[in-house]
Amino acid sequence: MANTSYAEVAVPLHVFQTFTYRLTPEQSVLAEVGARLVVPLGRSLVTGYVVDLLDELPAELGGVDVKDAHSLVDIDPVCSPEIMQLARWVSDYYACPLGEVIKAALPPGMTPKKKTAGFIKPKLRRFVRLLQSNAEEQKLSDGQRRVIFTLEASGPMLLQSLLKTANVSASTVASLEKKALVEVYVDAIRRDPLTESLGIKSEDHMLTAPQSSVLTQIEQQMNSGAYAAFLLHGVTGSGKTEIYMRAMNKALSLGRSAMMLVPEIALTPVFSRRLRARFGDQVAIFHSSLQKGERFDEWTRVKNGEARVVIGTRSAVFAPVRNLGLIVVDEEHESSYRQQESPYYNARDVAIVRAQKESATVVLGSATPSLESFHNARKGKYHFVTLPERIYARPMATAKIIDMRTVFVRHGKPRVFSDELLEAIRETRERGEQSIILLNRRGYSSFILCRSCGETIQCPNCDVTLTYHRSERVIVCHYCNHHEAVPHVCPSCGKKYIYYVGEGTEQLEEMLKLLFPSLRVARIDRDTTARRKVFEQSLADFSAGRLDTLVGTQMLAKGHDFPNVTLVGVVSVDAGLALPDFRSAERTFQLITQVAGRAGRGDRPGRVLIQTYHPYHYALRHACAQDYEAFYEEELRYRQNHSYPPFVALASILIHAPDLGRVRADSLEIRKHLDAANGERKCRILGPAPAPLSRLKGEHRFQLLIKSRSRKSLREVADAALKAAAEGGINLRSVNLEIDPVSIM
């Protein structure tokens, strides 16, 4: 009989400590690190994760009243040693609670808030299979014969489908079961997110010389079996995806598995189909718009080694693939790799660390690498490989800036579309070619203004204006999703001079339909993509030439390959340039370069027209010249002069709560603790100041920034200050510490 032992448990809450529980002798035998354990915490039961097993109570707990664990959920741990090790790294590096990280690493539904909600499980169904086929010798009814015949033809079947195909009732099957001719059994059925895409043919290309050279270098490193990192800088349309797939194939042929991370949900269907065509059933897909059951089944297939290729968004980096040989991070510069809530982590950086820990190769790919990655490549941390040309040496699109200041002067009022852009849309249509029109603002109007009192209509919960969505006749907050009916009179003065200002994608679509009645236009933005089917249908229609023009937000800029698109129009980027964030120039440069990459991918050249009131901004000039290096040099100078990453490590501390007075007081208190911890002056501390979004979801927000040339000092100062703050009574649940924030908004 085993002795009682103890489990150290991390709970999926924003608390930084772990807890120790006593296990029963039976639990002591069965429990393993990585298993879920239901434990009492405060007055309720929570599901936590075993992170360590102890034979004896640690000395520092001597005398403390240790509680009994409630129940062990898994015999087979849900979190493998590799994933546990990775989660520990994430928790240390990003200063996030380990329990929160493990929860984020598992599919949703595995750690329900209330125990009563039940854990997600395989979906079980009844199947039928034939036991003997000497049915001829038996006396059978017609229905019974049809059942036998159907099973002979198609093998074991779901009971449901068998009843349909053989056109019989369940009692017919039951009678055959009595005769021991068939067996009814229970098994898990797979909830497959990609069923519709089976049977698509995979295209096989001869690699171009530059593709071969890049692939050879990657394969050589993979052969060595040791960690290696690559930054693949390849212009849009240069054939990066082909390289990713070949490298993944290589990993499989070496007996290892492969993972590919993609930034957007919207991209996943396209890529996952291509991967499914290439790798068949070995592909598992992970992203947030799958249903929980689908996610769970895909995760299970990976965990038990059935699927050896994983494609997915951010959290797929934690997929329990065994013997990982390769991680591809496509569009590595994308900010969606960063999780914007605790645990804050950047999947690209986690991918690098995972590759190191598992001796895998990692390939970061982009047409517009992040400044950090480019810097790392320059310093020799990554191998740098390039695809400088498009496939078939197709020319890059020519880009041109349209100075909206002169358009304004000419017309005496602001215009949404310059004549030049309208003319280009018309010509493109006449030639039977397609266009993409981009504006980074969804909705119909960006805000509503009262002409009588000058008030704008604000979100009651956030410090932003509400956006008018005409088709649903509501005004909406794009941050908290607060909806209200469109007002007929101004809520502050009661007069009816309500006026809509600024255009969104919905209005652009309508304007284009009015200006060009025969133009076939559809819109792609978060409003339409909320409905996955509509979105996929629009892309399919555009791809098949049933649409002439797509209007949309940045979702359109990425990844898509439409050979007949020869015009990209950017209605405005000025709002993005003006954001109070040190990455706003980099983001704008990337956006323009990416969207320009959508034009001229077929055999006709493309062109890009960018409307702006800031025609001389360096991000726009270099994007138009498609000169990444020049942009990089200028941006690096700016970052160096202003002490921003990659020259310093950066952390932000956001203090948020409904009560403004408390937020202010807590912020000042934290500043004091930071100063006290920063005696050696190794860090520079800025703030507290109201965050650029000073109110969000009903909470006020203050922000502090910490910069330092030494990442170690940065962490020491931040950790010491927050520890002191907590001891002084500040609730750390309303304090977010973010290491390497991608945005300081």
Nearer to ligand ADP, 156 or 563 (CB): 563
Nearer to Zn ion, 480 or 732 (CB): 480
Per DSSP, 731 falls in state -
**2-10, 234-242, 648-656, 699-707 -> range binding ligand ADP (CB under 6 A):** 234-242
Angle subtended by helix axes 209-224 and 240-253, to nearest 10: 30
**115-123, 229-237, 284-292, 726-734 -> range binding ligand ADP (CB under 6 A):** 229-237
Nearer to Zn ion, 543 or 694 (CB): 694
**132-140, 230-238, 447-455, 688-696 -> range binding ligand ADP (CB under 6 A):** 230-238
- 11 within 8 A of 99, measured Cβ to Cβ: yes
- 361 within 8 A of 565, measured Cβ to Cβ: no
Nearer to Zn ion, 461 or 743 (CB): 461
Per DSSP, 504 falls in state -
CB of 460 to Zn ion, least distance (A): 7
Residue 480 interacting partner from Zn ion, ligand ADP, none (CB closer than 5 to 8 Å by kind): Zn ion
Nearer to ligand ADP, 65 or 203 (CB): 203
Nearer to ligand ADP, 296 or 589 (CB): 589
Rg (C-alpha) for the chain, rounded Å, is 29
The yes or no reply on residue 242 touching ligand ADP (CB under 6 A) is yes
The yes or no reply on residue 277 touching ligand ADP (CB under 6 A) is no
Compute CA 376 distance to the chain's CA centroid, rounded to the nearest angstrom. Answer: 23
- 147 within 8 A of 173, measured Cβ to Cβ: yes
CB of 203 to ligand ADP, least distance (A): 6
**CA-closest candidate to residue 317, choices 275, 373, 360:** 360
Residue type, 675: D
SS3 readout for 332-355: CCCHHHECCCCCCCEHHHHHHHHH
Q: Contacts by 165-168 with C-beta closer than 8 Å and gap 24+?
A: 167/143, 168/143, 168/144
Residue 237 interacting partner from ligand ADP, Zn ion, none (CB closer than 5 to 8 Å by kind): ligand ADP
Angle subtended by helix axes 268-279 and 240-253, to nearest 10: 40
**Cβ contacts of residue 644 below 8 Å, gap of 6+?**
582, 638, 650, 707
Ranked by CB distance to Zn ion, the top (closest) residue is 477
Nearer to Zn ion, 382 or 444 (CB): 444
Residue with tokens 């053989």: 166
The yes or no reply on residue 239 touching ligand ADP (CB under 6 A) is yes
Cα–Cα separations (whole angstroms), residue 152 to 118, 181, 314, 332: 39, 12, 45, 51
CB of 532 to ligand ADP, least distance (A): 22
Nearer to ligand ADP, 41 or 391 (CB): 391
CB of 465 to Zn ion, least distance (A): 10
- Rule CB under 5 A: which of 450-469 touch Zn ion? 459, 461-462
CB of 526 to ligand ADP, least distance (A): 23
- Rule CB under 6 A: which of 525-564 touch ligand ADP? 561
d(CA 442, CA 533): 19
**CA-closest candidate to residue 182, choices 191, 194, 170, 193:** 170
The yes or no reply on residue 694 touching Zn ion (CB under 5 A) is no
Contact pick of 103, 301, 303, 482 for Zn ion (by CB under 5 A): 482
Geometric angle at alpha carbon 98, from 94 and 99, rounded to 5°: 135
Per DSSP, 310 falls in state E
Contact pick of 34, 237, 312, 741 for ligand ADP (by CB under 6 A): 237
Nearer to ligand ADP, 286 or 562 (CB): 562
Interacting residue ranges for ligand ADP, rule: CB under 6 A: 203, 205-208, 211, 234, 236-242, 391, 561
Interacting residue ranges for Zn ion, rule: CB under 5 A: 459, 461-462, 477, 479-480, 482
